[in-house]
A and B are shown apart, each in its own frame.
Chain A
Amino acid sequence: MSITNLINDWSRYRKGAEEGGFHEYEHQWAMVVDLNKCIGCNACSVACYAENNLPVVGETRFAKNQGMHWMRVERFWDEPDLQPYVATASNSLDAWIEGNPPAPRSALKPSNPAPIAEGMLERDGKGFNEQFGFHGTKSEYQDFGGSFLPMMCQQCHSATCEPVCPVAATYHTPDGLNAQVYNRCIGSRYCSNNCPYRLRFFNFWSYYEDAWPEPLHMQLNPDLTVRDKGVMEKCTFCVHRIRVVKDEARMENRKVKDGEFATACVQSCPTSALVFGDKMDPDSQVAKLWNAHQVKQGPYKQTKENKELRGYRILEGLNTDPSVMYLERVREV
């Protein structure tokens, strides 16, 4: 009975995209990240730490790639030529109102650098300039031209981590989530090595022993396990929140409404760069965005009618079929 149960369910859930994939989903939780709106403030990352009982591992362990950030904001300095935009008499708002629109930003490239205003390079002892803030020329990093990429588990529908698990601790749920069952995990770390996004994190130490000293243990979220040494973990799309709303909806004999809840990162995003929802629900914001950007679940290469649309999925050419769509960042030129 149980063995047949296992075998049937195994082959049901372990279908790759080339076999048509798994189609008996109840929900397909998905996310949209608008990189135009992301300001790289890391609020999502902080919220994730607070929500999911993530330990702060310390500098030395972090340097060894043992950080436990389920949600991280990657930073790229992709436009080193970009210069600060400084309001002058010629490009001020007043000038614009009078009919002289400001020069395009491309005009501010080094061949035609922006005029450095008087006193802009002066700083006090702490590197602060009263008029121009921290922006200057002597920083460790460049002041302009950075872009940010929030990365959480992509909840792939044909995930590379799932088939390599020797004990089926990671599997696909009928909710379209890539689950990680801590009680089953034996810590082989195959999944982490097979994840092209590097979004699985291993507990190399018993972090709970020192990560939350005496009064801080009160902040632990009771809806989640505090993981011990030897267990792999990753972003769950805040499955404990999903569980609560699904329970509530079930008690009231209705479907889960769009916007009824959000994951911790989505909730904390100050610019609403992150959108979360059920892609199976055609009226949800997420489903509408995916449709609007003509990104489809399933194919490893998107065939868009309109090439100008910004939607894309990270490393989708690997046929991982991720559930997170990113909207490309567009610079003002």
Chain B
Amino acid sequence: MSGGYCFLFRQASSVAPVPVTWAHRGRGVHYFVTPLLSRVITFALVLASLLVLALPAWAENGATTKGVPNVVPPKGEHAGKHVEQPIEFPHDIHTKVNGINCMYCHTYARRSKVAGIPPTSKCMGCHSMIATDKPRIKQLTEYWEKREPVKWKKVHDVPDFVHFTHEKHLKRFVFDNEGMSVDRVSEVCAFCHGDLKQMTVANKVKPLNMGFCVRCHEANKGPFDCWKCHK
């Protein structure tokens, strides 16, 4: 950690104080901690965050660490902006705590181009009985009684000139993939949508650009014809 900018302490984290650069100009507060103490705190925080990240993996008995067979997962990260949804839908509760399969709600993923946002009737199938006292469910019930659709906002949007089918990708990665079970479909979804078990509302965490697609097609021997995807 020399010469870099440490976001944890809002301070240039080199031993000698560095001149004010664009990175921390105008940020107002500068915490001046002695270099030794700053390193101790950093170490402690990194350790703590590692522990927090590793915990869910242990809790799931190492299921996520095995990986999907016969697939090289696509590489790439993206810091998508938080999308404000009409109801803050908690993906983590549904998938991680309750263990619901992704394709229970996004049922069209295995049989059409789009995965589909479930209709309110699907939500009410459970939530006419379950957790009816929670504020978000009350909000949902309001929509249901008003007979209005919830206007969910699209998070993962590929451009109009791209042809992408969920069904073919699921066929290759899940249904025709030997040693892969449908119960673990969320790991395949995570290739492009990130680990929804760690999110409430979905966030775009993969770039979903042409490089991202082509790298995966190259690694997994997908088609390379331009007209397979471009329309």
Cβ–Cβ contact B230 & A181, under 8 A: yes
Cβ–Cβ contact A173 & B225, under 8 A: yes
The residue that A247 contacts in the complex, of B160, B161, B165, B227, with Cβ under 8 A, is: B165
- Give chain A nearest CB distance to B113 CB in angstroms: 8
Q: Which residues of B contact A250 (CB under 8 A)?
A: 168, 171
The secondary-structure label for the interface of chain A is: loop
A-B CB pair tally, cutoff 8 Å: 47
Interface residues of A in 164-188 (CB under 8 A from B): 171, 173-175, 177, 179, 181-184
Cβ–Cβ contact A177 & B161, under 8 A: no
A224 at the interface (CB under 8 A from B): yes
Interface size on A, residues (CB 8 A): 25
The residue that B227 contacts in the complex, of A9, A223, A224, A239, with Cβ under 8 A, is: A239
B163 at the interface (CB under 8 A from A): yes
- Give chain B nearest CB distance to A250 CB in angstroms: 7
B224 at the interface (CB under 8 A from A): yes
The residue that A2 contacts in the complex, of B163, B168, B218, B226, with Cβ under 8 A, is: B218
Cβ–Cβ contact B225 & A174, under 8 A: yes
Q: A182-B161, A247-B165 are in contact. Are A177 and B218 (CB under 8 A)?
A: no
A109 at the interface (CB under 8 A from B): no
Interface size on B, residues (CB 8 A): 15
The residue that B230 contacts in the complex, of A1, A174, A182, A223, with Cβ under 8 A, is: A182
Q: Which residues of B contact A251 (CB under 8 A)?
A: 167-168, 171
Interface residues of B in 117-156 (CB under 8 A from A): none
B25 at the interface (CB under 8 A from A): no
The residue that A225 contacts in the complex, of B168, B224, B231, with Cβ under 8 A, is: B231
Cβ–Cβ contact B218 & A240, under 8 A: no
Interface residues of B in 158-175 (CB under 8 A from A): 160-161, 163, 165, 167-168, 171
A5 at the interface (CB under 8 A from B): yes
A255 at the interface (CB under 8 A from B): no
**Cα separation A169 to B226 with both chains bound (whole Å):** 9
Closest to B172 in A: A250
A198 at the interface (CB under 8 A from B): no
The residue that A243 contacts in the complex, of B167, B171, B226, B231, with Cβ under 8 A, is: B231
Cβ–Cβ contact A1 & B218, under 8 A: yes
Interface residues of B in 188-231 (CB under 8 A from A): 218, 224-228, 230-231
6 contacts between A and B (CB under 8 A): A1-B218, A173-B227, A174-B225, A181-B227, A240-B231, A243-B228
**Chain B interface residues toward A at CB < 8 A:** 160-161, 163, 165, 167-168, 171, 218, 224-228, 230-231
The 6 A-B pairs of least Cβ separation, nearest first, read A225-B161, A181-B226, A179-B227, A181-B230, A173-B227, A173-B225
